[in-house]
Chains A and B, each alone.
Chain A
Amino acid sequence: MTEEDVKAPGPEQQINQLFGYRAEVLKDKLFDLFTMPSYFPELETSQACMLVGGRGTGKTTVLRGLSYEGQYALRGRDQKGIATWPYYGFYYRVNTNRVTAFRGDELGQADWIVLFAHYLNLVMCDLALKFMEWFQLHEPAAQKLSERDCRKVAASLHLPDVTTSQGLSDCLEIQRIKFEAYINNVVDGPRPPLSMQSAPIDTLFEAMQGLPQFQGKNFFFLLDEYENFEPYQQRVVNTLIKHAGELYTFKVGVKELGIKHRGTLDEAQQLYSPADYSEINIAEKLKGESFKQFALTVCNERLSQITNDRDEIIRDFMVALPGLSEDDEAERLGIYTKVAAIKRELGRRVTPEQLAVLEEIPPLQTYLIYFWAKGSGHRIEVEFKDFLDNREEWETRYGNYKHALLYTLKRRKSGVRKYYAGWDVFTQLAGNNIRYILELAVQSLLLHLQRGALLSEPVSPEVQTEAAQAIGKKNLLQLEGFSVHGADLTKLLLGLGRIFETMAADTFGHRPEVTQFYLSDTTLQPEVKALLDSAVMHMALLRAPGNKLTASSDTREFDYMVHPIFSAFFVFSYRRKRKMALSAADLLGLVNNHRKTIKDILARTQREDSLPLPDQLQLFGTYYHGG
């Protein structure tokens, strides 16, 4: 073994490094592994944009990709080409610990607005000046800001008379320190001289646009995590967005429902899409086949970079993660034992010729006859004869129930109760979330290697299922820390998860694959709305415009679904199918009085909360059923 062999990272280590999914963690590798999403060109235009998406949908990656540092990396770190770029972006993540300094009952909101607007001026000018410094470093011959322009910017910020951009940067730093001291003693005053909202930024960008190297160029402020702004601060930023235009514009990353205020500082003016900005909803742009393709490109690109001298590596996740047909899965879930029992039962009641028909159909379809009899309360031979007489109708029924039947096969058994395997299934579990698909992919590969298998072999359905359960559990446990209200979200999810799990396992005589709910109330109290919004914002729930109103009194706008990433952990269907009504009281009950509420909701569907928990849910046994 050579020294190089000893030093070369093993496959596990390479997978961990390559499949990191947080833009914040990937650092330089972020750009090496960057895959351009289809909506990227829309962000490169001069129009303001709001990039809306949940955690892990790739907002930060995209915004960083638009930044000048990102573009430099993406364009091969070619120093010569910098001056030819059509735009330059300045990335800024909204930091909660900064922006919450600008609140408190010591001052009224009008005062906080002017202070915060001044702070934004300092931040944005600083970002632009840092860019100028970077540009100058890479293009030493580029023209600098004139003394006159520097003086104008300094004047608008109440800085001393400075004549260079470096001088501006230095004075800005001192100004920031003084301003920090003032904010820390905001009651004492005297208030330092404040700049007018956007005035210094406009002055600076007018000067920059006047430089030959920047003529005709677009400048983007890339504001990430806009939801961290206080509501009044969003008004301040909205005002900037509304009035920005020729000099610079904004590309904003925000979680779904993270826009707390659409107003501006002028109460008569709101921020409208598409007049003031274009809204790019990632979930809308990347869904279905386009997400599947994008996810495959992202993951295969990472897979292609794994080096291993010993074995061939499967370089395509479609091959590495094989799926199962429903019939194959039924076989793994023990369908033959069940069918043998069904045949024995029927053998006593029908002719051998009739019984022989069952040899021509898949075992799962035979099981459907038993399933249907159990649900209808008829004897099995009655349903069997109906099957013989109405084959076409039963074919349709089989199509409708085939997937749902799988959840009932091992409902009281330990071990795998349902398989979650295959690239197609994984993309559905990910729910259009790129972080989730990366998590599923990496967890599958790592477990596969831990079981002693090779990357030249496909990952077994058992290991894929285990990986999907582990990722569901990980995200469930993490949910608690995501927000101040994380505990409520965890409880809501645990409640809904148990309900949908029980409904999936006990489908006898019920509609199959109920995986969504809608609110039956005509109005929602703020507490429930906040809970639902928070659940959507933090990816506990997915929501979609409701388009299948079942009664005229149903006025809610959205259907909600537990995010499919949790489906393997709870064991229910990841497919967006049928829906049930829940009330606001049900949702609050799942948070505040979960045991009774779970029981009550299940009772309304003629089910009992009596099925044993799946193995992986035993962790919450005390939560569900007491100590």
Chain B
Amino acid sequence: MGAKDRPLLTDSYSKVDDFIPEGGSAYLSGTSVEQRSEHAQAWESRATDVEFVRVIEQNTTNFTVSLKGQDLRVSLRSESQLQNFLRNVDQSTLYIDITGLGHHVWAPLLRAALHVGKLVKAVYVEPSGYRFNPNPMEGDIFDLSVRIKGISPIPGFASLTESDEENVCFVPLLGFEGTRFAHIIEEVQPLNERVIPVIGVPGFLPQYPFHTYHGNQLPLTNTEAWRNVRFAIANCPFSLFYTLEDIAADFPQSLLKIAPIGTKPHGLGAVLYALARPKQVELIYDHPIRKEERTEGSARLLVYNVSTLPLSGVGK
């Protein structure tokens, strides 16, 4: 079944102002260093009957959230704390705005929200542009030391499953920064023919897929993985989800090691896939530290009806 035959459970709004969270819902968001994560504050005055829940601090192992006038610290490696917090959110429909939250925060939150039976809708706002050079030339030096903390599991998604390398399929979800891809290859050491990169096509902007190829040129060439590239819509977690299903079908009995180092919607798709197939997936993440003013402006806003996707692994 091709991606076109599968439901893309996404509502798309051409600009942030076109969307207002529906009444009777809760809207969970955080603010990052990026300008586009500030929209929730603007909606508070316009939305009615919406409980806004703000993550005010994001640390490596916990986050602090402001709920009903109180600050609550929640450990990321505690399903009970995550669920208790979410049960204290009264509304059954929960928007999780992943735009301003780190993968290490929204991923465990998303899982806990699905576990407690919330109707979860993930929200993402595309940037209107990238202020850093999205088209790195050969010879540009990326300062990885201020860009990543290093490889470690996303809280709650650690896998202790050992698998023979012949049974591992490495699926990097590529962004612009080839150095991150190269670094993860160095750690994972996959077999070249089992590196299946995914590039976002169409991109947020038409030219972005070319930037992705350019930025990842060296590791794509060294591994010859350019031969194996798959495509999934850059702003669509469901498109990515289905692409992962296809890859899994092509590599039966394989453990998919997925590196969500590309777009956040692809990261969301990877996490959803990991929730759906927990025994067949390992997430490999390098925990980037976002530079201030990395992106500029806001473009489309997308609402992903996550709960509508059948996730057989959730809750098991």
Residues of A within 8 A of B (CB): 22, 24-25, 27, 93, 96-98, 100-101, 103-106, 119, 122-123, 126, 176, 179-180, 183-188, 474, 477-478, 480-488, 490-491, 619-620, 622-623
Contact = CB atoms under 8 A, between A and B. Distances in A.
Interface of B: 60-61, 75, 77-81, 138-139, 141-145, 148-153, 155-162, 165-166, 178-183, 185-192, 218-219, 222, 282, 284
Contacts of B190: 24
Contacts of A480: 141-142, 144, 179, 182
A98 B284 CA distance: 10
Contacts of A183: 77, 158, 160
B138 A619 contact: yes
Contacts of B155: 184
A27 B218 CA distance: 23
B77 A487 contact: no
A100 B152 CA distance: 5
A486 B187 CA distance: 13
B166 A100 contact: no
- Quick one: which of A187, A474, A486 has the most chain B CB within 10 A? A187
A180 B160 CA distance: 6
B162 A126 contact: yes
| Secondary structure of the A contact surface, majority rule | helix
A180 B80 CA distance: 16
A97 B138 contact: no
A185 B186 contact: no
A97 B152 contact: yes
A486 B158 contact: no
Contacts of B219: 481
Given A187-B75, A480-B144, A486 B183 contact: yes
B141 A491 contact: yes
Contacts of B165: 24
A520 to B, nearest CB: 26
Contact of A96 (B81, B162, B182, B187): B187
B191 to A, nearest CB: 6
A484 B145 contact: yes
A188 B157 CA distance: 15
Contacts of A98: 158-160
Nearest to A122: B160
B153 to A, nearest CB: 5
A487 B141 contact: yes
13 contacts: A100-B150, A101-B153, A105-B61, A183-B160, A185-B77, A185-B156, A188-B81, A477-B218, A478-B218, A480-B182, A481-B178, A482-B186, A486-B183
B186 A24 contact: no
Given A185-B80, A187-B81, 9 more contacts: A24-B191, A25-B192, A98-B158, A103-B152, A180-B158, A185-B78, A188-B81, A482-B183, A483-B144
Contact of B284 (A97, A101, A123, A490): A97
A589 B185 CA distance: 30
A93 B165 CA distance: 11
A481 B60 contact: no
B209 to A, nearest CB: 21
A487 B144 contact: yes
A477 B219 CA distance: 10
Contacts of B182: 478, 480-481
B151 A481 contact: no
Contacts of A119: 160
Given A27-B166, A480-B182, A487 B142 contact: yes
A505 B203 CA distance: 48
Contacts of B77: 104, 106, 183-187
A485 B141 CA distance: 12
A84 to B, nearest CB: 26
Contacts of A104: 60-61, 77
Given A27-B191, A478-B182, A620-B139, A101 B144 contact: no
Contacts of A487: 141-145, 179
Contact of A477 (B138, B152, B186, B284): B138
A100 B155 CA distance: 11
B155 to A, nearest CB: 8
B79 to A, nearest CB: 5
A184 B158 contact: yes
A184 B187 contact: no
